[in-house]
Amino acid sequence: MTQAAVERAMKLQDVMLRAMAKRITWFQAAEILGISCRQMQRWHTRFEHEGYEGLF
């Protein structure tokens, strides 16, 4: 994994954990990550079913 990929994974993990803890909304999480709300919904569902491995 490149340094950029590691940093992106860490940012994704941080944002997902904040959204799951309800410190931010899923909409805000999508904005932070620069993705659409629909894509965030897909990632959220995949994360619930497969954990972090499902996102990479």
User: How far, in Å, CA of 49 to CA of 43, rounded?
Assistant: 10
Which two tokens mark 45?
């569902």
Which pLDDT score, from 0 to 100, does residue 9 have? 84
Q: Which DSSP state fits 53?
A: G
Q: How many beta carbons lie within 10 A of that of residue 15, not counting itself?
A: 20
Q: Write down how long the chain is.
A: 56
- pTM given for the model: 0.77
pLDDT band with cut points at 50, 70 and 90 for residue 51 = confident
Domains in the chain: boundaries: 15-55
Tell me the per-residue pLDDT of 5-44, one tens digit each, with 9 for 90 and over.
Answer: 888 888 998 999 999 999 999 999 999 999 999 999 998 8
Answer whether 15's CB lies under 8 Å from 33's CB: yes
Which pLDDT score, from 0 to 100, does residue 22 have? 96
